[in-house]
Chains A and B, each alone.
Chain A
Amino acid sequence: MNFLKNLIQNLVRGPSTVSYPFGPAWTPDKFRGRIEFKLASCTGCRACEQVCAPGAIRFDKTPDGLRFLMWHNTCVFCGLCEYYCPTDAIEQTTDWHMAHAVEHEFEMAIREVIPYVACSACNAKALASAPNPVGVEPPFSAEEIEHQRNLCPGCRKKALAERGVAS
C-alpha cells in the first residue's frame, strides 16, 4: 500500500522541475562562479598566476604599470586563486550567468592595471600595490596601507623595520 502514499504525495507536491529560465534558479551559497577582482587590495605578488592551472590569470608589465588579466573563458573555477590570495583581492561570486554570444567572448575578461607611482620617500619609480600583510603584527591599519602603497620596496622595508616588524 506504500505506492498509494507516493501517489498522493506526488499529486499534492506538484512538478519538481525548476522554472528556470522562466523564473529564478536556486544557487548554492558556496557556488564557485564568476571571479571578482579588487584592484585596491592586490599586492601584485602573482601567487594567483602561479597556481592558476589553465593559465587564465596573467600579469603583464606595461608602460603604465602591472596589468592583471583574467579570462573567464579559460577559467575552470577551481577557486585556487581565491584560496591563495593573501589579501582577498580575488573573490569568487556565486554568479553563473555567463552564457554569451561569441562576439562578446573577449568582454568576459578582467583587465586592471596597478599603476606606477613615484615613491613618496625617495622618489623612485614604484608599483602602487597594497602591502603584503603576511606575518605583520599588529595588522596594517587603513592609513598604513595607503602610506605603504606610495613607497618603493626599499622604503617599505625601512618603514616596516621602524614599526618593529621583521619582514
Chain B
Amino acid sequence: MTLKEMISAQTRRMAALSPWIYRINAGSCNGCDVECATTALIPRYDVERLGCQYCGSPRHADIVLITGPLTARVKDSVLRVYAEIPDPKVTVAVGVCPISGGIFRDGYAVLAPISKYIPVDINVPGCAPRPQAIIEGIAQAIEVWRERL
C-alpha cells in the first residue's frame, strides 16, 4: 500500500465519524431554520453527539440541510452554493416545503419540489419538523454518508 492510499483510507475512516452539516435556506419561512438551529445549539437536543457540526462554508460540508420551497428569486444562489459543496454529499430536505411545496404548492414564485433541481436523499416531513425528527433525518443521512464514502 502506498502512502497516498494509506492517507486516503485513514481520512475516509475519520470522515465517516464526523460529517459536517451545512444549512441552505431556499426561501424558507424561518420555522424550519429555527428548528435546525435548535437541534445544534440547545443542549437538550445537541446534534453534535452524532459527530456532526454545523459549518459556515459550503466547501467544508458533507451533509446539506435544505429548508424552504425554493423561491424563484433565490434559485440561482441556491444552485451555485449547492454546486460548491464537494462530492460525496448527502442532501436532507427539512420540512414539507422542499419536498412538495407544502402550503406554498403551485405558487407562482415557488419552484417546489426541490428534487427537480437538486438530488435529495432524505425527506423529513413536518411543518416545522420537531428537533428530534430532524435528528432522526440526520441519523439516516449519516448512514447514507457512510455508504457513499
Report Cα–Cα, A53/B102, bound state, in Å: 9
In the assembled complex, B123 has its CB within 8 A of some CB on chain A: yes
Interface residues of B (CB under 8 A from A): 43-46, 49-50, 93, 96, 99-103, 105-106, 115, 120-127, 129-130, 132-133, 135-137, 139-140, 144
CB closest residue in chain B, given A78: B127
Are A105 and B132 within 8 A (Cβ)? no
In the assembled complex, A7 has its CB within 8 A of some CB on chain B: no
Are A98 and B125 within 8 A (Cβ)? yes
Report Cα–Cα, A133/B29, bound state, in Å: 40
Known: A18-B44, A25-B132, A98-B126. A54 touches B140 (CB 8 A): no
Are B133 and A101 within 8 A (Cβ)? no
CB distance from A35 to the nearest CB of B (A): 11
* CB-defined contacts of A98 to chain B, threshold 8 Å: 124-126, 129, 133
Partner among B46, B96, B120 whose Cβ is within 8 Å of the Cβ of A76: B96
Interface centre among A16, A71, A97, A102 (most CB of B within 10 A): A102
Report Cα–Cα, A16/B49, bound state, in Å: 13
